[in-house]
A and B are shown apart, each in its own frame.
Chain A
Amino acid sequence: MSLLSYLINGISLGSVYAIIALGYTMVYGIAKMLNFAHGDVIMVGGYAALTMMLSLNANPLIAVLVAIVVCTVLGITIEAIAYRPLRQAASPLAVLITAIGVSYLLQNIVLLIFGSSPKSFQSVVLVPDLKLAEGALMISGETIVTIISCIVIMIALTTFINKTKAGQAMLAVSEDKGAAQLMGINVNGTIALTFAIGSGLAAIAGVLLCSSYPSLSPYTGSMPGIKAFVAAVFGGIGSIPGAMIGGILLGIIEILGKAYISAQLADAIVFAVLIVVLLVKPTGLLGKKIQEKV
């Protein structure tokens, strides 16, 4: 029974990773950049929701919506100011370092506004805990909501990309920017839209993460950010189902590793599994094999 509850916890944590990884993977697929500030957008989302609930006494649902709006606007702004000018830069590393600069910037702005001490986050989840098998197996409301939101997001995102014009435009831009532009697609607008969706998802992930692990500090986002990045690579970066599978597997491995092997080594185990997977399948679980032309 304990194995089952660990598994459920793992899937719940993995769902959060998956939602963050979706943002990573979409941005990577379309802009070919590793957005290291993504983890910090999660943290900003958490603070936005917390501020709404504490100082304005807002309904948790409204707080979540505000967090999504704040992060979406933030994502678009970051892209326009810091990333877009560097899109044609000579080295892809330039935009990577700028992303790191943005990450420092967000951390320090939040640090100045809210202070460095961790704040306790009040859960936004109103669903009661579920008790199964006469109390032997308890599933918290947060877990249920996290898993369900993950599934809903996954379905919505897949439908959006495959069935709408904007989604098809995204696919086209990620395939070939120049050709997409020739077909009349607004490349800048499409990339901005991708950042907007990724950042909105980050806000949801931030709120869910803080509801399950109720402590929020300016550095909350960085470790989940790195883990989600690992998850995205694990599943094959650029692939949306890959991010989902990668995230959930990562969550399960982390929780089981913590429970059965060693709490201190849990992170090392996660990374070791990643390395083994990449050595066997060098482009991740669902990654496309890159054809090289001479």
Chain B
Amino acid sequence: MQRMKTNKNFKSNLITYGIVIVAFAIAQTLQSTGNLSSLMKGLLVPICVYVILAVSLNLVVGISGELSLGHAGFMCVGAFFSAFFSKCMVDVIPISGLRFFFAVLVGAAGAAVFGVLIGIPVLRLRGDYLAIVTLAFGEIIKNVINVFYIGRDSNGFHFSMKDQFSLGMEPDGVMLLSGPQGITGITRDSSFLAGVILILITLFIVLNLIDSRDGRAIKSIRDNRIAAESIGINITKYKLMAFTVSAALAGMAGALYSHNLATLQASKFNFNTSILALVFVVLGGIGNIRGSVIAAVVLTALPELLRGLADYRMLIYAIVLIVMMLFNWAPKALEWRERYLGRIFRKSAKEGK
């Protein structure tokens, strides 16, 4: 029985990897034959970013069962750490790919550290209180980065929380981080290929974690905290594990994001970005990793595909979101689907629960 289930999981995981690789191949073919509009080309890397973000958030929301509303905060940390690293190292490591590799590691590590720091106090709370505190941390991270000024000259690093001039730099000084203006002139090291590789790494980590002993412990805490505790599962440890891994992966998404932009500003990582990631997770199916991937791709591309509708596109996006939620989650709609759409949807409706 156990082996059968493992085999089934393994197959299902392979399908998920397969979908990503096939999608990559199709996008590459379209791109090389010139069938991809410039708008869509510009979206390829952001789509990868949001896929990683959605999968990582699903680890917290779906597998660990805690609502996090501050995921953009970890992405922000990853983006700034990695971009800062790249800016400092641009002369030391001349090879773009290698530099990006280290930048991603730095971004993920930075976000993981914040994940632990925030996780330890926060995971004591439950439910909506946990949600609001993660929201608060997301906003704090954004606000705090906005007041940092860091520059470098021949004497070394200078740091200030007031403005550029109070750094007192030599004339040869370079601004690395300038408050609300953020980091400018980041090398564009990320590419679609790098994005897809990062997606595969994310999927590998998350899918393996879910199926592992640790993952089962995490899921048991989600399903019944007290029962899990009574059989000797260390609640704090496993919750923190899920939270930290998720933060690190979000940091990776941030690194990919920042190296796709010339200018990085903290204000981009606001509450709406966290909510966007949550929308992907819920629409794709809570706890369903493949669903998150698909939802993130479709919903990131949707506003651009609707661009022809000009001003109405966000309106239609909102309506589509509401209708899809009602259709997927309302008990009456599920009943209706069961009755009229019969077998085709029966399986997915059950999985949705």
A residues within 8 Å of B by Cβ? 28, 34, 36, 82, 85-86, 88-91, 93-94, 96-98, 100-102, 104-105, 107-109, 111-112, 222, 226, 229-230, 233, 237, 262, 264-265, 267-268, 271-272, 274-275, 278-279, 282-284, 290, 292, 294
Query: Taking A88-B331, A268-B144 as contacts, is the C-beta distance between A108 and B315 under 8 angstroms?
Result: yes
- Check: B88 CB closer than 8 A to any chain A CB: no
Q: Bound state CA distance, A28 and B128, in angstroms?
A: 10
- Check B133 against A102 for contact (C-beta < 8 Å): no
User: A97-B279, A100-B275 given as contacts; is B321 within 8 A of A90 (CB)?
Assistant: no
What is the bound-complex CA distance between A275 and B180, given in angstroms?
24
Residues of A close to B61: CB separation below 8 A: 93
Please name all residues of chain B whose beta carbon is closer than 8 Å to the beta carbon of A275 when the two chains form the complex: 121-122, 133, 136-137, 140
Q: Is the CB of B318 within 8 A of A101?
A: yes
Binary per-residue interface labels of chain B (99-126) against chain A in the complex, 1 for a CB within 8 Å, 0 otherwise:
0000000000000000000000110111
Cβ contacts under 8 Å, B317 to chain A: 104
- Give chain B interface residues in 290-331, CB to chain A under 8 Å: 311-312, 314-315, 317-319, 321-322, 325-326, 328-331
Complex Cα gap A216–B321 (Å): 26
The contact of A282 among B125, B140, B279, by CB within 8 Å, is B125
Whether the Cβ atoms of B314 and A104 lie closer than 8 Å is yes
* Contact in complex: B283, A91 (CB < 8 Å): no
Inter-chain contacts of A230 with B (CB < 8 A): 132, 135-136
Query: Does B286 touch A at the CB level, under 8 Å?
Result: yes
* Residues of the B chain whose Cβ atoms lie less than 8 Å from the Cβ of A268: 139-140, 143-144
3 pairs of A and B residues whose beta carbons are closest in the complex: A271-B136, A94-B329, A104-B318
Per DSSP, chain B at the interface is helix
A sample of 8 inter-chain contacts (CB < 8 A) reads A90-B329, A97-B321, A104-B321, A226-B139, A230-B132, A272-B136, A275-B137, A292-B226
A274 contact set on B, CB distance < 8 A: 132-133, 136
Q: How many residues of B contact A (CB 8 A)?
A: 49
Chain B residues closer than 8 Å to A91, beta-carbon distance: 282, 286, 329
- Which residues from chain B sit less than 8 Å from chain A, CB to CB? 61, 67, 121-122, 124-126, 128-129, 131-133, 135-137, 139-140, 143-144, 146-147, 180, 226, 271, 275, 278-279, 282-283, 286, 311-312, 314-315, 317-319, 321-322, 325-326, 328-333, 352-353
Return chain B residues, CB-CB under 8 Å to A85.
326, 330-333
A109 CA / B121 CA spacing, docked (Å): 40
User: Do the beta carbons of A237 and B311 come within 8 Å of each other?
Assistant: no
Instruction: Return chain A residues, CB-CB under 8 Å to B332.
Output: 85
Distance, CA A109 to CA B318, complexed state (A): 10
CB distance from A261 to the nearest CB of B (A): 11
Given contacts A105-B319, A279-B124, A282-B125, contact A97 B278 (CB under 8 A): yes
Known: A111-B314, A264-B147. 12 other contacts (CB 8 A): A82-B322, A96-B282, A97-B278, A97-B279, A97-B282, A102-B322, A112-B315, A268-B140, A271-B139, A282-B125, A283-B129, A294-B226
Query: CA of A282 to CA of B352 in the docked complex: distance in angstroms?
Result: 32
The docked-state distance in angstroms from the alpha carbon of A283 to that of B319 is 35
Contact A100 to B279, CB < 8 A, known contacts A82-B322, A229-B132, A282-B124: yes
Taking CB as reference atom, which chain A residue is nearest B352? A90
Establish whether residues B67 and A93, one from each chain, have CB atoms under 8 Å apart when the complex forms.
yes
B325 touches A86 (CB 8 A): yes
Q: Write the chain B residue with the least CB distance to A290.
A: B126
A93 touches B286 (CB 8 A): yes
Q: Say how far A104's CB is from chain B's closest CB, in angstroms.
A: 4
Most buried by B among A86, A222, A290: A86
Which of B61, B133, B317, B353 has the most A CB atoms < 10 Å from its CB?
B133
B121 lies within 8 A of A279 (CB): yes
Residues of chain A within 8 A of B315, CB atoms compared: 105, 108-109, 112
**C-alpha gap A278/B137 in the complex (Å):** 13
Return chain B residues, CB-CB under 8 Å to A36.
275
The answer for the CA separation of A108 and B226 in the assembled complex, in Å, is 44
**Please, which residues of chain B bring their CB within 8 A of the CB of A271?**
135-137, 139-140, 143
Q: Complex Cα distance A228/B283, Å?
A: 27
Q: Which residues of A contact B136 (CB under 8 A)?
A: 230, 271-272, 274-275
